[in-house]
Chain A
């Protein structure tokens, strides 16, 4: 029962590995932002807003959002696909994980854009 798929599983897993590796670097930068200032002031409102106005940091945040969403939700899809094997379950899981991924990216991007404009 072969159905046409948008991406072969090998392509999806290549994306999974690449997003995983890339995410390590950008998340490391994100964590460092809390460690290069005195810790108490690292969550200060003005400091955070100033970060959001820095275009490079905005790109880093957007990268984290996209990379981790893809990696995380694909991982969840893999775990859930292993639990049951029927067409209905697989369709539901695929739809839910892709739509959750898009929704989370959209919501996070909204935060970044709004904060950048503040």
Chain B
């Protein structure tokens, strides 16, 4: 590699590149959401495993933990989890299809205006379906949690 007299990470987008998905289309936005929801769900999962472990300490321990989670904020948090998991799963299924080359179109001879065949309506509608399913699941969860 050529010798360069400047720090190698000079001008690299870094984390800002991850956190700012605008301007590159829906696929970049879905990448951003997939990462956010993934990390969020992992944190929730760890908390959930701890939360459910209180049952082994008997009825009182279980009930006192329920008092913490069966609150308005607890329910809102759970609705966020429902939305995140629905989006992450639906988008994940779309990504698995693309990773095996399905739904991307076939290579051909590019011509002006050089629209890429991989960023097609199937990908965009897949992302939209994931977002809509997520919103619908959150709405359903809201009705179940707050509807009684």
Do residues A79 and B35 form an inter-chain contact, with CB atoms below 8 A? yes
Set of chain A residues within 8 Å of B50, measured between Cβ atoms: 107
Main secondary structure of the interface of A (DSSP, over half): helix
Note all chain A residues with C-beta closer than 8 A to B42: 72-73, 75-76
| CB-based contact B55/A104 at 8 Å | no
How many A-B residue contacts, CB cutoff 8 Å?
Answer: 60
1/0 contact string of B77-88 vs chain A (CB within 8 Å): 000000001000
Interface size class of B (residues with CB under 8 A): 20 to 34
Q: From the candidates B53, B66, B99, B144, name the one contacting A43 in the complex (CB within 8 A).
A: B66
Q: For the complex, what is the distance from the CA of A24 to the CA of B85, rounded to whole Å?
A: 9
Q: Which residues of A contact B55 (CB under 8 A)?
A: 45, 48-49, 52, 111, 115
Most chain A CB within 10 A, of B15, B42, B144, B148, is at: B42
Q: Find chain B residues with CB under 8 A from A89 CB.
A: none
B83 CB to nearest chain A CB (Å): 13
Q: Shortest distance in angstroms between A55's beta carbon and chain B's nearest beta carbon?
A: 18
Q: What residues of B have a CB within 8 angstroms of the CB of A83 in the complex?
A: 15
Encoded as 1 (CB less than 8 Å from any A CB) or 0, chain B from 84 to 112 comes to 01000100110010010000000000000
Is B52 in contact with chain A by the CB < 8 A criterion? yes
Chain B contacts with A in 102-148, Cβ cutoff 8 A = 144-145, 148
Q: Which residues of A contact B66 (CB under 8 A)?
A: 43
B63 contacts chain A at the CB level, 8 A cutoff: yes
Name B residues whose Cβ lies closer than 8 Å to a Cβ of A.
15, 35, 38-39, 41-42, 45-46, 49-50, 52-53, 55-56, 59, 62-63, 66, 70, 85, 89, 92-93, 96, 99, 144-145, 148
Give the B-binding residues of A (Cβ under 8 A). 17, 20-21, 24, 27, 35, 39-40, 43, 45, 48-49, 52, 65, 68-69, 72-73, 75-76, 79, 83, 104, 107-108, 110-111, 114-115, 118
